[in-house]
Amino acid sequence: MEVPKRTYSAFHETGLDLLLRQHGIKNVIITGQHTHICVRHTSADAFARNYGIIIPKDAVESFSDDEHKKGLEYLVMCYKATVLETKDLIGK
């Protein structure tokens, strides 16, 4: 099922939270552009809704390496995100 996103957060004014809860989802894997903007806003909303947050660091990006690095650090510090490589997430 597709859940279109209209703002920085995938949760804001979408049916994502309801859809995840209907399926018993407890953790979300967040990917996409920009680590320090959209990924951050989606992570904040996921954290506020009590989801565990997983960020594959090679599946998100920013305008610069510094913004990317600081964005990941912020996600860990503020939202207790688990940051790992995609290969570790899928077990390869």
pLDDT tens profile 37-83: 899 999 999 999 999 999 999 999 999 999 999 999 999 999 999 99
Count the neighbouring beta carbons within 10 Å of the beta carbon of residue 42.
24
Better pLDDT: 11 or 2:
11
Element (H, E) at 22: helix 16-22
* Confidence band for 87, pLDDT divided at 50, 70 and 90: very high
- Residues 84, 54: contact at Cβ < 8 Å? yes
Q: What is the pTM of this model?
A: 0.91
Model pLDDT, residue 18: 95
Three-state secondary-structure class, residue 19: helix
Better pLDDT: 89 or 52:
52
Domains (range + CATH), the chain:
16-87 (3.40.50.850)
Q: 13 pLDDT exceeds 80?
A: yes
Count the neighbouring beta carbons within 10 Å of the beta carbon of residue 66.
10
Model pLDDT, residue 4: 79
